[in-house]
Chain A
Amino acid sequence: MYRSRFNFSRRRFVQGLAGGSLVLGGGLGWGATAGPAFGPAALGGGSAGRASAGISRGAGDETLTGGERGSILRGTDFELAVGAREVNFTGASRTATVVNGQLPAPLLYWRQGDTVTLRVTNRLPAPTSIHWHGMILPANMDGVPGISFGGIPPGETFAYRFPVTQSGTYWYHSHSRFQEQVGLYGPIVIEARDGERYHADREHVVLLSDWTDTNPEHIYRMLKVQSDYFNYGKRTLADFFADVRKQGFARTVADRRMWGQMRMNDTDLLDVSGHTYTYLMNGVTPAANWTGLFRRGERVRLRIINGSSMSFFDVRIPGLKMIVVAADGQDVEPVTVDEFRIGAAEVYDIIVEPKDDRAYTIFAQSMDRSGYARGTLAPAAGMEAEIPRLDPRPVLTMMDMGMGGMDHHGGGSASHDMAGMDMSSMDMDHMKMGDTQAAPSSSNFGPNVDSVAAQPTTNLADPGPGLRNNGRRVLTYADLRTLGGPIDSREPGREIRLHLTGHMQRFVWSFDGKKFSESRPLQFNYGERLRIVLVNDSMMTHPIHLHGMWSEIESPEGEFLVRKHTIVVQPGQQLSYGVTANALGKWAFHCHLLYHMEAGMFREVVVEQGRQSGGQS
């Protein structure tokens, strides 16, 4: 239904230009290079490194090739210049915010145990900043203007310096205004002091992002004045009749009445969609097809980073099993899956073992199925594999509203034809819907909160809207076990409970009904182990990021599962995690959807010595 409305120009817009990328010379660096990227185990040297992303797909390849080694910066001292540059992903020229002239920003390759110095010079006419996402570092090096430091004024240089105590895959991005949306993001890979736990013969960074030709200030304004502006997947009259045919008139009317009573839109999965976004993989459009090379039989590690501003992606590589070996930079017990959802700012490292001399598509469809990022793993440049069709657009259910599991078949089944699916392979383990518990009274969050999850689900084995019962083995948080256990095995001394709240129509987002401007800082006591419980009252999925300290997700029974820096909380879900307040200073705590953060879903956290408990505002 949705797909059939793609016309040619629309398709071109969503997929981008075949040759569409940076206009100026200088190339895409590691992004476009189909080479064995780096790392001690990389094979093939630079011999294949000339393969470029846009091969044989149109003119302008020269602007794409590049692949200079300079785009991977190694060592302990780095000079980074934040500036503006012209880019063209869709046929229209736009100004991006870039680092050293590159979009994405250069890959920073560090070694665990080193102390790194990064001199960031601002060549923009506006203030800038860089936040090292997921890094454990001193508070004044965290790069959040107003909290960590004063920002970097135009023309000035700020020297970040901190010891690298961790290893794994991370990323960095601007924390100023909407610069992240227009290109200021790049990957960080930190080589483990003792070598990689999981052997790979070769590795590639796969950084997903969402490019728009629209000024982000305009996007934000549109969301404020008409919050469904970018949603071209709403329920129509035709959907109504299709549902009547499938489930009968009474049930369809009851369903519509229920949503109408709540004045909620069950198709609002992402606020900003492929209507304006062109999804990029390593800065390359789907049409231009970023390609990472492999040799048959190799173990290939993909370090997959969601550097987007507002997007969740469902990632799979048809034909290959994916072994997830790290989450947010932290090694986990290997778990083999067909697909995983990655929220904005999340990171997963996977290993794939292609056995054939063929191309494999890396397919990352946006959660609302309005578009996709796409690249290829291939034994040689210029190859490509079939691109899967977008899945049916998911529709939220009452369970997603935190109203209990009324519809166990989950999203998508209500209004879309699922006939082609192999329903026999449904993994019912993913559908354990028990474990709901009554939420405390939280209906008094004020007029800018449009819903409260009366019965939040605590089920971490639910892959989320659009992924339930899709016939594939989909990763969930319940599958993840960080190796080595929690950083701090003490029982949390206290609990901070926060509701993720908002008003979809007015586009107001908050914690506990309080926008950042209305809130007071959360107080953590230096040294304490505490538990944060998030209850998602809203019907959107939120990636919640605590700066400076790890978030260690627990099972509903309190058992340690996985250490992360960004935690995705599904609609109507309750989730808890342990935090050890071992980092003095002021930190940011926020939803990593850029416009949710702007609209108020942000808190300051203060870690101080000797404070008595407080913090719940």
Chain B
Amino acid sequence: MLVAVTGAAFATSASAGAVPSQPVTSSAVAETTGDHMSYREMADTMQMDDTARVGKVLFDQLEWRDGDTGEGRGTWDAQAWYGGDYDKLWVKSEGKYVSTGHDTGLHDADVELLWSRVISRWWNMQLGGRQDFGPGQSRTWVSVGVEGLAPQWFETEATLYASDEGRTAARLKAQYDLLLTQRLVLQPFAEANLYGHSDRQHQIGSGLSDLEVSIRLRYELRREFAPYIGVVWLRRFGGTADLVRAAGGEASDLELAVGLRVWF
């Protein structure tokens, strides 16, 4: 319903002493109500842009581990992303570097490149590929996964992989930040790997292959820079455990970790 406008409509309540009976010149209107600018032009003129892209590089784990086997190694679990509020390019990587014995070099290392798309309030869908590195024939996978924040603040990733050789795999990761103080944070972490087929070259059996459960205590000197100590429990299952034992290894391992959580 439109109410007829009269001059009197604006001239009411002069008692306030601040009545906006505003004369607007036609030239003023013409200047401001010209052709509608595109969002891009507008954003440039306003110097304000809610589509601006941002990025982050996070080494969630960058640590040195020492375990029962006496074999020291460096491990990492890192991610980087860049993009807008809906679509981002993600890079994920994890692996270990062994510096002693005949195993010297990269082990169980991989890099994933993913397109990440917001699909709901708390979840992103991630599509891309993963390249493995390390001893033996390196595998290449197609990745399909979800990443997000599960109820009760669990940061969660679940990814399915398929390779051109017909291999399949799955990886599940979850972690949680428990604040002891505003800067002292206890972070439980779990990662499980599952495989559709055994892969003797890589000491992998089919089914649930390995589970890592760890807990890290970090101190955030800055949000971006937090040294930590941690305990890592590794357990291999089924065919994987058999293959590892056959090669002289242990099915489970308890390791101490010292590291840095850094991001920028």
Over the window 99-143 of chain B, the binary record of Cβ atoms lying under 8 Å from chain A Cβ atoms (1 yes, 0 no) is 000000000000000000011111000000000000000000000
B168 to chain A, nearest CB (A): 29
Judge if A428 is at the interface, Cβ distance under 8 Å.
no
Closest partner residue, chain B, to A445 (CB atom)? B121
Partner-binding segment picked from B4-12, B195-203, B244-252: B4-12
Interface centre among A145, A517, A608 (most CB of B within 10 A): A517
Judge if B163 is at the interface, Cβ distance under 8 Å.
no
Question: Which residues from chain A sit less than 8 Å from chain B, CB to CB?
Answer: 5, 112, 126-127, 136-141, 144-151, 163, 165-168, 175-177, 192-194, 197, 221-222, 224-226, 229, 232-238, 257, 260-261, 263, 329-331, 447-450, 482-490, 493-494, 503, 505-506, 508, 515-517, 521, 525-529, 549-550, 563, 580, 582-586, 597-600, 602, 606, 608, 612-613
The list of the 10 closest CB pairs from A to B, nearest first, reads A527-B5, A166-B18, A600-B50, A484-B16, A136-B20, A146-B45, A484-B15, A260-B152, A146-B46, A177-B47
Interface centre among A140, A163, A194, A508 (most CB of B within 10 A): A140
Q: How far is the CA of A521 from the CA of B32 in the complex (A)?
A: 13
Closest partner residue, chain B, to A330 (CB atom)? B18
Closest partner residue, chain B, to A229 (CB atom)? B223
A147 touches B46 (CB 8 A): yes
Question: Which residues from chain B sit less than 8 Å from chain A, CB to CB?
Answer: 1-3, 5, 9-10, 12-25, 27-29, 31-33, 36-37, 39, 41-43, 45-51, 54-56, 85-86, 118-122, 149, 151-153, 178-183, 223, 263
Q: How far is the CA of A608 from the CA of B24 in the complex (A)?
A: 12
Knowing A137-B22, A145-B46, A149-B31, say if A580 contacts B17 (CB, 8 Å). no
Knowing A136-B22, A602-B48, A606-B33, say if A503 contacts B182 (CB, 8 Å). no
Cβ 8 A contact of A580, one of B9, B24, B31, B49? B9
Q: How far is the CA of A175 from the CA of B1 in the complex (A)?
A: 35
Cβ 8 A contact of A582, one of B18, B20, B43, B46? B20
Q: How far is the CA of A583 from the CA of B121 in the complex (A)?
A: 39
Knowing A484-B13, A488-B9, A517-B39, say if A236 contacts B3 (CB, 8 Å). no
Q: How far is the CA of A464 from the CA of B151 in the complex (A)?
A: 28
A225 touches B121 (CB 8 A): no
A-B CB contact pairs (8 Å), 22 listed = A127-B47, A139-B24, A145-B46, A146-B43, A151-B46, A163-B23, A165-B19, A232-B182, A236-B179, A236-B182, A238-B181, A331-B16, A448-B86, A483-B16, A484-B14, A485-B15, A489-B12, A490-B9, A582-B22, A585-B29, A599-B50, A613-B2
B85 to chain A, nearest CB (A): 5
B222 to chain A, nearest CB (A): 10
B5: chain A residues within 8 A (beta carbon): 526-528
Cβ 8 A contact of A167, one of B17, B21, B153? B17
A517 touches B182 (CB 8 A): no
Closest partner residue, chain B, to A197 (CB atom)? B17
B151 touches A260 (CB 8 A): yes
B42: chain A residues within 8 A (beta carbon): 146
B17 touches A586 (CB 8 A): no
B27: chain A residues within 8 A (beta carbon): 140
Q: How far is the CA of A108 from the CA of B28 in the complex (A)?
A: 24
Knowing A127-B47, A235-B179, say if A447 contacts B20 (CB, 8 Å). no
B43 touches A138 (CB 8 A): no
Q: How far is the CA of A467 from the CA of B241 in the complex (A)?
A: 60
Secondary structure type dominating chain B contacts: loop
Q: How far is the CA of A487 from the CA of B47 in the complex (A)?
A: 34
B29 touches A234 (CB 8 A): no
B120: chain A residues within 8 A (beta carbon): 447
B32 touches A148 (CB 8 A): yes
B16: chain A residues within 8 A (beta carbon): 330-331, 482-485, 487, 563
B20 touches A549 (CB 8 A): yes
Cβ 8 A contact of A585, one of B24, B49, B179? B24
Q: How far is the CA of A127 from the CA of B120 in the complex (A)?
A: 38
B20 touches A486 (CB 8 A): no
B13 touches A489 (CB 8 A): yes
Q: How far is the CA of A163 from the CA of B21 in the complex (A)?
A: 11
A329 touches B18 (CB 8 A): yes
A550: chain B residues within 8 A (beta carbon): 20
Knowing A140-B28, A487-B20, A585-B29, say if A263 contacts B149 (CB, 8 Å). yes
A331: chain B residues within 8 A (beta carbon): 16-17
A482: chain B residues within 8 A (beta carbon): 16
Cβ 8 A contact of B152, one of A175, A226, A235, A261? A261
Q: 15 extra interchain contacts, Cβ-Cβ under 8 A, other than A151-B46, A505-B122, A529-B9?
A: A138-B25, A139-B29, A139-B31, A140-B31, A150-B45, A166-B17, A226-B56, A238-B181, A260-B151, A447-B86, A448-B85, A493-B1, A515-B85, A521-B36, A598-B50
Q: How far is the CA of A176 from the CA of B44 in the complex (A)?
A: 10
B153 touches A260 (CB 8 A): yes
Interface centre among A141, A168, A583, A608 (most CB of B within 10 A): A583
B3 touches A516 (CB 8 A): no
A165 touches B21 (CB 8 A): yes
Knowing A261-B152, A580-B9, A606-B33, say if A493 contacts B2 (CB, 8 Å). yes
Cβ 8 A contact of B47, one of A145, A168, A585? A145
A600: chain B residues within 8 A (beta carbon): 50
Q: How far is the CA of A585 from the CA of B29 in the complex (A)?
A: 5
Q: How far is the CA of A148 from the CA of B24 in the complex (A)?
A: 13
Q: How far is the CA of A144 from the CA of B48 in the complex (A)?
A: 11
Q: How far is the CA of A331 from the CA of B178 in the complex (A)?
A: 50
B23: chain A residues within 8 A (beta carbon): 138, 163
A583 touches B1 (CB 8 A): no
Q: How far is the CA of A139 from the CA of B25 in the complex (A)?
A: 9
A505 touches B149 (CB 8 A): yes
B28 touches A527 (CB 8 A): no
Closest partner residue, chain B, to A256 (CB atom)? B152
B21 touches A448 (CB 8 A): no
B85: chain A residues within 8 A (beta carbon): 448, 506, 508, 515
A564 to chain B, nearest CB (A): 12
A517 touches B13 (CB 8 A): no
Closest partner residue, chain B, to A516 (CB atom)? B50
B86 to chain A, nearest CB (A): 8
Knowing A331-B17, A527-B9, say if A138 contacts B28 (CB, 8 Å). yes
Q: How far is the CA of A596 from the CA of B96 in the complex (A)?
A: 41
A450 touches B121 (CB 8 A): yes
A237 touches B178 (CB 8 A): yes
B39: chain A residues within 8 A (beta carbon): 517
B48 touches A597 (CB 8 A): yes
Closest partner residue, chain B, to A225 (CB atom)? B56
B182 touches A233 (CB 8 A): yes
B180: chain A residues within 8 A (beta carbon): 236-238
B119: chain A residues within 8 A (beta carbon): 447
A563: chain B residues within 8 A (beta carbon): 16
B25: chain A residues within 8 A (beta carbon): 138
Closest partner residue, chain A, to B27 (CB atom)? A140
Closest partner residue, chain B, to A447 (CB atom)? B118
Q: How far is the CA of A464 from the CA of B25 in the complex (A)?
A: 42
B12: chain A residues within 8 A (beta carbon): 487-489
Cβ 8 A contact of B32, one of A112, A140, A260? A140
B15 touches A585 (CB 8 A): no
Q: How far is the CA of A141 from the CA of B25 in the complex (A)?
A: 11
B181: chain A residues within 8 A (beta carbon): 5, 236, 238
Knowing A168-B18, A221-B54, A485-B13, say if A585 contacts B3 (CB, 8 Å). no
A112: chain B residues within 8 A (beta carbon): 17-18
